[in-house]
Structure formats: structure tokens, C-alpha cells
């Protein structure tokens, strides 16, 4: 990972340590011991024998070493985390009842306008809007509980006021607690913030958020309505979460150093016991870690949560736009990519002669609006002995202070091997006495970094050519950088953000990931109340902040999930996931196909089924229910034997056995809302089956199918009509993919299958891969 790799989507990087995945995870400096997770599968299976093995193993560890035990898991699944040696870990892995033993990994933390934008997009492209005003108004009145595993919460934020919660009691199924600390009392919890837990390994014995990330996420998902919200006057409007009536339970599992896998598993274990309905995790591994199913704490915890009827929503990761960078790829997880909204934060560069160059970034520049300040291209200020590429990229130590002082500096950001972030370059020129910086970077242009009082902006490479031509045309080039303003109704939107992790999944090409996209760029939401790092001079800490990442996209979907759950209490996690995926849109606010930040047409590897909508999932018409058998088969097809699966799953139906032919190709047949087929060589057809359930409540209805097929592939659906005679009826169909006689244009081609009865459209994207 390069230095400063995450500065572009965490605006608080200056006070937030860069997070690295600890590949070994276990070893501590100065000794041979480290923390290992001992995973023993489902809690309480095998007539209690697993629980007995659990206790016996823990007692053995404790007898060997005082304070060895770090965590114990006993509610949703069984196991513990302990500080042991590598040799002890290998020995424990051979004990009865142990599924796996693996080093404790360190995972990464991966709104006024955004909800209005989503609702507008919904009205543009979705026909199935709520039936009546009463249905619309009831959406915010929910006893659904959203569990947030993150950095904690700032309870004094108005987003967590319970003024709008109807009734005086807590949800009947709630069994959680509000843990107290020196800086967090029981009165910090209320009818809105009903639970708060912390874990000692996070470095602070309190649920209080000291970083801002957890507060931002929680308010995006379920914050109450707040009028006149803004970030020092920017992005002003009414802020609210996606499900303002939902309750919030916070599990502080992260610190400034990241999020320990063992602590995340404790959060899952407690949340299952506490009775949450939705779990939102804006965190995950690095894309380079490629953890398998039996050593990924999120995949393990999420499996057991889903078994208990809890839907788990996770961010897709921030390592895009590289292929195979998506994380949280298990099929029981709802994986969310990030996209832009129709808001921009221009901070323009004005050249001599009042030529305006569009720039982006959040700064509160105090420079004059007239272009009177000397302007220099960084390459022309090269320090003796420095390389041209270092100087033009404003790398620390490459520039001559005498040539920089008092000037606005134009820097490139085109050296991928430099290891320096945008912030590193800004501080380098600022420390040399520069009064402003214009950074050339097409990739990060639409993601607004926050620079406080320092005049800084990002410009496109095309506009940079105009700037350099101006500099070279005069002996006295001058410019100014204007303070940022907010612009709405920006087009096109949404775009898939450049940092958003991309498919295909590294684990299998037969499940399409990510699942959907949601707003994750320049999102305004609540913040901790003591952070003045980006404040203009003389201003107090803002109660809101504008940041970007798939971390911000995830809670948008969590809020929608909570709303759907509140209206459909009996729906399974997979039914809710299906409703969200099949009603997603692939159209932007110009009524054209959604693109990526580079302008290319987005594919399901970029955004899954598409951008989420707000009312569509409430009335999806049909849903794909991914059953326990589907997940068990997935584990079989992934190479696990029935013995290992038996210790993972809470219950296994009588007579279940792994199919004799457990090829990974059969993963395509689990009943997922999207379809992915690999190893398509054109010589033989590929058959995929799916089952849909009628949830519209319309009784008798007929759905007909339409197919959008890519060049080189023939797609037929049998039958091509589904006739439902009652609600909740399940009907199946087959999709046959065969060669049209023409070779595939690319290694991966995309299309879709849509069922409609004239009232509802139920769309499933598909990808065909020749690998």
C-alpha cells in the first residue's frame, strides 16, 4: 500500500493514522506471541459437545498463560481469541471441534443532498412508488434496529436525538445494553441510541467516537431530521438518515489503528444476542489480502448473523478502479460500491485576464478574488539535484524554497511510483511558503478533499494544458484560487467513483460482486464535536463533515434495508437483498446509462445491479430467496467438506450432503438475484436455474421475460412466462447461455434478464466470462 493511499476519501487523514492490513496479524513486537482467532463454528451444536470443547480449550490456554484470553464468542457462534504462540496455534487447530485457527487480522475502515438525489432518481426511473401518502409517511416510523460496527458514536449529535421517536418503550426484541465510561454515561443513550458497546482492544474504554467515522456512518443510516445542516455553510440543507425512525445500536470495534478481526467477531456475537435487525459494516480487508472464507472474520460473523435473520450490509472497499479489488464478497453479504450525487464543490483557479479554470476541492481561501498572486509550475522550481518527475509532482525535498515562497504552485499527480499522496504534496509546498496549490489529477477530480484555510484546488489534465500555456506565454503569470461554493443539479450523476472497488470477485467468478452502488462521494453527515482540523480561522468545530468512500455508501443501503424491513417484518435477509438489487437503476440524471468517473459506460463489475432506489425495494413484485441450502451448496462448491460445514452452520437439514460433483461452476446455480457464469468457451451451453417468489400481493398475475444479450451469446429463458395464481407462490425458470457463433468481444460480457407484469419490473444483471 502506498503512503497516504486513503487521503482522498478520508478528509480527516491529517489526524487519522493511515490504516494498514497486518498480513500476519498476530505477532507483537518483542515476543513470539500474537493474537489468534480460534473459530469453533455454530454455538451450541452437536448436543453441547462443541460448547464443552470450547470451555476445555479456553481453560487449557488460561492455565498456560495469565491474561491470554482476549475475546470469547458464545452467542451467535462459538470460539475465542487468545494471545498464543504460532506453535500453540498449530496445536489447537488439531483439537476436536476447531474449524480454523488464524492470525487476528487488522481490517480497514473503508446527508443533506444524497437522500434527496436518490428519491429524485427513483421517481425518474421506477414506476412502483408507494400507494398513498400514508404509506410514504409511515416509512419513518420504525422499530427496526440498525447495528453499527465502527469507531463509536458522538451521542450529543442532534442526529441521535429521540425527539421524533414515537412511543416511550424500546423495541420488544431488544436485549442489548448501554455501556458507560468516564466520558459516556447511561443518559447518553435514549430511545434513538438504544445501545452502545465498546471493546478494550480498541484503545479506549468507551463507546465515544474520537475519529468521526462511526458518527458519520450512523447518522447517514438512521439520523433524525436536522434543519439547516452544513459544513461551514457548504452543502446546506436538511440532513437526515435513510431510516430516521430506526433505532441505533453502536459497537465500537475500531480505533485509529484499524479494526481487529477478533473484536469485529465480538461485535457480531453481541449484536446477534442483542437482537438487531440490520448490521452495517463500513470496513473490510485490503484487496490484496484475499482471505478465504474460514479466515475472514466478516464472512464468518455475517454468516451467523444471516442465520439469525439479520441482514448484513458491507462496503465494497476503496481499492478501485483495479479489477478484482472488491472485498466482502460472500453471497450472504450485501456488498455496496460508491457513486457520486448531483452536487459539486468547485474551487476555481482564476488566471491573469480573468480566465476561469474549473477546479474542485473544499477550502475557505482568504485570497483576493482578483488574480494578483504569482503563479509557477512546480517543474520550474526544481531544486538542484532533484529529478524532473519529482519536481513536477511536488514531492517533498524536490523544490527550491526561494522559488516557491509567496506563489501559487501548479503540481502534477502523475507519478504512480512516487508513494506520496495529495496531502503530502500540499504540505510540501505549504511548508516552503507557497500561498496556494493547483493539483492536476483527472482521477480524483470529483472527490473534494478538505483543505481548511489553505487555498487548494484540483484541476483536470486538459485544463492544466491551458494553465501551462498561460505560464509559458508571459513573464509575469498571476492567478488566484477562489473559496469553495456548493453546486447542485450537477450532471451527469451518478458516476461510479474511481476509488470504488471493482469486480470480479477474487474468490469465484460465479457470483457477481459488488451487489449495488449508493452515494459515497462528498457526503455530508454528523461529526464529532471537537474536531477543528478543517475549520476556517476563528470558527468552532463543525457538527457535520463532508467525506467520501464506500464507507459512506454502505449506510445509505443500510438505511434503505431498515425501511424495507420495517414494512416487511417477515422477509428474510435474502428477500430484502433481492428487492434492493432487482429495483436498482442503471440510468443517470440525464436519462442516459450510468458511467464511471472516466466517462466509460459502467458495468456490473463497477456497480452490481445498479444504483439503489428508495421506494422500489418496498414493492419489488418478485424476489429471489437465497436459502440455507443455497449457502450450504456454495460452501460445498467452494471446497469445504460436510464436516467443516457442519461446524459452521447453525443447523443442517436432515439428509443434506455435498453434491458428488462440487465444481465451482455450480455456484452459478445458487438462487442469487444476479447471474455470473464462468468458463464460457462457446463450445457448450451453460444452464442456470432460478426461483422467484411473488410478494406483490396481487394474487393472479403473469410475468413475461425480456433479455438484453451481448454480442456473441444467445440467451433463452424457459419458460418465457410465469403465471402466478396466488401470493407467495414460487416458480422456477432456466436460462440457457450458448454461443451465437461469434467470439466474445471481451473476456467478460454483460446483459440482463427482466421479468415484468406491466406494473413491476424485476431485473437481474448477468455476466459471462470466458475465464
Residue-number span of the structural domain to which 739 is assigned: 622-626+671-769
Last residue of a domain, one of 104, 138, 157: 104
Instruction: Give the containing element (helix H, strand E) for 299.
Output: helix 297-307
| Band of residue 764 on the pLDDT scale cut at 50, 70, 90 | very high
Clarify whether residues 199 and 306 are in a common domain: yes
Clarify whether residues 577 and 511 are in a common domain: yes
Question: Among this protein's residues, is 150 annotated catalytic?
Answer: yes
Q: Is residue 662 part of a domain?
A: no
Which of the following is catalytic: 517, 551, 574, 674? 551
**pLDDT at residue 590 in the model:** 94
Torsion of CA 345, 349, 350, 356, to 10 degrees: -60
Tens-place pLDDT, residues 421-468 = 888 999 999 999 999 999 999 988 889 989 999 999 999 999 999 999
| Band of residue 123 on the pLDDT scale cut at 50, 70, 90 | low
Clarify whether residues 376 and 337 are in a common domain: no
Write down how long the chain is. Answer: 771
Clarify whether residues 155 and 298 are in a common domain: yes
79-83, 566-570, 591-595: lowest mean pLDDT where? 79-83
C-alpha–C-alpha distance, residues 437 and 536, integer Å: 17
What CATH number should be reported for the domain holding residue 100? Answer: 3.30.70.80
Contacts of residue 305, defined as CB under 8 A and 6 or more positions apart, other chains included, come to 76, 268, 271, 272, 279, 312
Clarify whether residues 89 and 235 are in a common domain: no
**pLDDT at residue 30 in the model:** 35
Give the distance, in angstroms, between the CA of residue 21 and the centroid of all CA atoms in the same chain: 17
Question: Among this protein's residues, is 630 annotated catalytic?
Answer: no
C-alpha–C-alpha distance, residues 663 and 206, integer Å: 47
**pLDDT at residue 65 in the model:** 66
C-alpha–C-alpha distance, residues 37 and 569, integer Å: 34
Which of the following is catalytic: 71, 213, 216, 556? 213
Clarify whether residues 414 and 471 are in a common domain: yes
**pLDDT at residue 66 in the model:** 66
Which of the following is catalytic: 150, 296, 442, 495? 150
User: Domain count of the chain?
Assistant: 4
C-alpha–C-alpha distance, residues 518 and 532, integer Å: 29
Name the pTM for this structure.
0.89
Q: Is residue 324 part of a domain?
A: yes
| Greater pLDDT, 221 or 140 | 221
Q: Which of 768, 513, 515 is nearest to 665 (CA)?
A: 768
C-alpha grid cell, residue 203: 484503545
Tens-place pLDDT, residues 201-221 = 766 789 999 999 999 999 999
Question: Among this protein's residues, is 186 annotated catalytic?
Answer: no
| Band of residue 61 on the pLDDT scale cut at 50, 70, 90 | low
Tens-place pLDDT, residues 266-290 = 999 999 999 999 999 999 988 998 8
C-alpha–C-alpha distance, residues 752 and 742, integer Å: 19
**pLDDT at residue 15 in the model:** 27
Instruction: Give the containing element (helix H, strand E) for 736.
Output: strand 730-739
Tens-place pLDDT, residues 597-644 = 889 999 999 999 999 999 999 999 999 999 989 999 999 999 888 877
Clarify whether residues 431 and 466 are in a common domain: yes
47-61, 303-317, 607-621, 705-719: lowest mean pLDDT where? 47-61
Asked if residues 610 and 631 have their Cβ atoms less than 8 Å apart, the reply is no
**pLDDT at residue 128 in the model:** 37
Q: Which of 110, 63, 97 is nearest to 82 (CA)?
A: 63
Clarify whether residues 498 and 572 are in a common domain: yes
Q: Is residue 253 part of a domain?
A: yes
**pLDDT at residue 137 in the model:** 39
Amino acid at each position: 500500500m502506498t503512503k497516504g493511499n486513503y487521503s482522498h476519501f478520508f478528509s480527516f487523514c491529517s489526524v487519522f493514522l493511515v490504516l494498514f492490513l497486518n498480513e500476519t496479524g498476530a505477532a507483537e513486537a518483542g515476543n513470539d506471541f500474537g493474537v489468534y482467532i480460534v473459530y469453533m463454528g455454530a454455538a451450541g451444536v452437536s448436543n453441547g459437545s462443541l460448547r464443552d470443547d470450547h470451555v476445555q480449550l479456553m481453560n487449557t490456554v488460561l492455565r498456560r498463560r495469565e491474561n491470554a484470553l482476549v475475546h470469547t464468542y458464545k452467542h451467535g457462534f462459538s470460539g475465542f481469541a487468545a494471545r498464543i504462540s504460532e506453535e500453540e496455534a498449530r496445536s489447537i487447530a488439531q483439537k476436536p471441534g476447531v474449524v480454523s485457527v488464524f492470525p487476528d487480522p487488522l481490517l480497514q475502515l473503508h446527508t443533506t443532498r444524497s437522500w434527496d438525489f436518490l428519491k429524485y432518481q427513483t421517481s425518474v426511473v421506477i414506476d412502483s412508488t408507494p400507494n398513498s401518502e400514508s404509506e410514504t409517511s409511515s416509512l419513518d416510523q420504525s422499530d427496526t434496529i440498525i447495528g453499527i460496527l465502527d469507531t463509536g458514536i458522538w451521542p450529543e449529535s442532534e442526529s441521535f436525538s429521540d425527539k421524533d421517536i414515537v412511543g416511550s418503550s424500546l423495541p420488544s426484541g431488544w436485549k442489548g445494553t448501554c455501556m458507560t465510561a468516564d466520558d459516556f454515561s447511561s443518559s447518553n443513550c435514549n430511545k434513538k441510541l438504544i445501545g452502545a458497546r465498546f471493546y478494550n482492544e480498541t484503545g479506549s474504554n468507551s463507546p465515544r467516537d474520537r475519529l468521526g467515522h462511526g458518527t458519520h456512518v450512523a447518522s447517514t443510516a438512521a439520523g433524525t431530521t436536522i434543519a439547516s445542516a452544513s459544513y461551514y455553510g457548504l452543502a446546506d440543507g436538511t440532513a437526515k438518515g435513510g431510516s430516521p425512525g430506526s433505532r441505533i445500536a453502536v459497537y465500537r470495534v475500531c480505533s485509529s489503528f484499524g479494526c481487529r478481526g477478533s473484536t469485529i467477531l465480538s461485535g457480531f456475537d453481541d449484536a446477534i444476542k442483542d437482537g438487531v435487525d440490520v448490521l452495517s459494516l463500513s470496513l473490510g480487508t485490503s484487496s490484496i489480502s484475499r482471505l478465504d472464507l474460514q479466515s475472514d472474520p466478516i464472512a464468518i460473523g455475517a454468516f451467523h448473523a444471516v442465520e439469525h435473520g439479520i441482514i448484513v450490509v458491507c462496503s465494497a472497499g476503496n481499492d478501485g478502479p483495479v479489477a478484482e479489488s472488491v472485498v466482502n464478497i460472500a453471497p450472504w453479504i450485501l456488498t455496496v460500491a460508491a457513486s457520486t450525487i448531483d452536487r459539486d464543490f468547485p474551487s476555481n483557479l482564476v488566471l491573469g485576464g480573468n480566465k476561469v479554470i474549473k477546479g474542485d476541492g473544499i477550502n475557505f481561501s482568504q485570497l483576493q478574488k482578483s488574480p494578483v498572486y504569482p503563479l509557477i509550475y512546480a517543474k520550474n522550481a526544481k531544486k538542484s539535484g532533484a529529478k524532473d518527475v519529482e519536481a513536477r509532482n511536488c514531492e517533498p525535498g524536490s523544490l527550491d524554497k526561494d522559488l516557491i515562497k509567496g506563489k501559487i504552485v501548479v503540481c502534477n499527480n502523475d507519478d504512480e511510483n512516487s508513494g506520496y499522496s495529495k496531502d503530502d504534496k500540499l504540505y510540501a509546498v505549504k511548508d516552503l511558503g507557497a500561498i496556494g496549490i493547483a493539483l492536476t489529477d483527472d482521477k480524483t477530480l470529483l472527490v473534494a478533499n478538505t483543505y481548511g484555510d489553505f487555498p487548494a484546488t484540483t484541476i483536470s489534465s486538459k485544463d492544466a494544458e491551458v494553465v501551462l500555456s498561460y505560464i509559458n506565454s508571459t513573464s509575469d503569470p498571476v492567478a488566484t484560487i477562489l473559496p469553495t461554493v456548493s453546486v447542485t443539479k450537477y450532471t451527469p450523476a451518478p458516476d461510479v467513483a474511481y476509488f470504488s472497488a471493482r469486480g470480479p470477485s477474487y474468490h469465484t467468478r460465479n457470483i457477481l460482486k459488488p451487489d449495488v452502488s449508493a452515494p459515497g462521494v462528498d457526503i455530508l453527515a454528523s461529526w464529532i464535536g471537537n474536531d477543528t482540523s478543517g475549520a476556517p480561522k476563528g470558527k468552532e468545530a463543525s457538527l457535520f463533515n463532508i467525506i467520501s468512500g464506500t464507507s459512506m455508501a454502505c449506510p445509505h443501503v443500510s438505511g434503505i434495508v431498515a425501511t424495507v424491513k420495517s414494512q416487511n417484518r417477515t422477509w428474510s435477509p435474502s428477500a430484502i437483498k433481492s428487492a434492493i438489487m432487482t429495483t436498482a437503476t442503471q440510468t443517470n440524471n440525464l436519462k442516459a446509462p450510468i458511467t464511471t468517473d472516466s466517462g466509460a459506460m459502467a458495468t456490473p463489475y463497477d456497480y452490481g445491479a445498479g444504483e439503489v432506489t428508495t421506494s422500489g425495494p418496498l414493492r419489488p413484485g418478485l424476489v429471489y430467496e437465497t436459502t440455507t441450502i443455497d449457502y450450504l451448496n456454495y460452501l460445498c462448491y467452494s471446497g469445504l467438506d460436510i464436516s467443516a460445514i457442519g461446524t459452521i452452520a447453525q443447523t443442517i437439514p436432515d439428509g443434506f450432503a455435498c453434491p458428488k460433483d462440487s465444481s465451482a461452476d455450480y455456484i452459478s446455480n445458487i438462487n442469487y438475484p444476479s447471474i455470473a457464469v464462468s468458463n464460457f468457451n462457446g463450445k457448450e451451453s451453460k444452464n442456470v436455474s432460478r426461483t422467484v417468489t411473488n410478494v406483490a400481493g396481487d394474487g393472479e398475475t403473469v410475468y413475461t421475460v425480456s433479455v438484453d444479450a451481448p454480442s456473441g451469446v444467445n440467451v433463452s429463458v424457459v419458460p418465457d412466462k410465469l403465471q402466478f395464481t396466488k401470493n407467495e407462490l414460487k416458480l422456477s425458470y432456466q436460462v440457457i447461455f450458448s454461443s451465437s457463433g461469434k467470439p466474445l468481444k471481451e473476456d467478460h460480457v454483460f446483459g440482463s434478464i427482466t421479468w415484468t407484469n406491466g406494473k413491476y419490473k424485476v431485473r437481474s444483471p448477468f455476466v459471462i466470462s470466458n475465464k
